[in-house]
């Protein structure tokens, strides 16, 4: 299982039509095969300059790679992401394998 997350700051004013257009375009990424539990969140912590976060899960590395290479993802990156995102942080997490805990 891979959890792909990205937090970001858009160049658009909060609540603007441009911001909503970007978020609507991002929602379409959920339709790419293999994407599970897709969510877009709004940042509420004033310590973080990123105003939004997107998270999704993949059952396997192969599904994650399929998503990354998918034409719809590439088109979103080219049309929206590269032109409208000012700053971002990306992270990919896999479950930690439990080891014995010393007592």
Domain-embedded: residue 30: yes
pLDDT band for 73, please (50, 70, 90 cuts).
very high
Domain span at residue 24 reads: 2-92
Neighbour tally for 48: CB within 10 Å: 12
Q: Are 25 and 76 contacting, i.e. CB atoms less than 8 angstroms apart? A: yes
Judged against a pLDDT cut of 70, whether residue 100 lies above it is answered with no
State the average pLDDT over residues 41-54.
93
pLDDT on residue 96: 85
Residue 99 lies in a domain: no
Residue 10 lies in a domain: yes
Distance CA 6, CA 73 (A): 14
CATH code, domain with 47: 3.30.70.100
44 belongs to a structural domain: yes
Q: What is the Cα–Cα distance from 84 to 22, expressed in whole angstroms? A: 8
Confidence of residue 97 (pLDDT cuts 50, 70, 90): confident
């Amino acid at each position: 299982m891979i959890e792909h997350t990205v937090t970001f700051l858009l160049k658009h004013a909060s609540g603007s039509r441009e911001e909503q257009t970007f978020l609507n375009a991002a929602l379409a990424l959920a339709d790419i095969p293999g994407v599970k539990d897709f969510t877009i969140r709004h940042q509420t912590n004033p310590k973080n300059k990123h105003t939004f976060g997107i998270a999704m899960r993949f059952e396997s590395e192969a599904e994650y790679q399929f998503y990354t290479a998918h034409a719809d993802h590439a088109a979103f990156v080219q049309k929206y992401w590269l032109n409208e995102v000012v700053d971002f942080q990306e992270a990919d997490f896999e479950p930690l394998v439990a080891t014995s805990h010393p007592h």
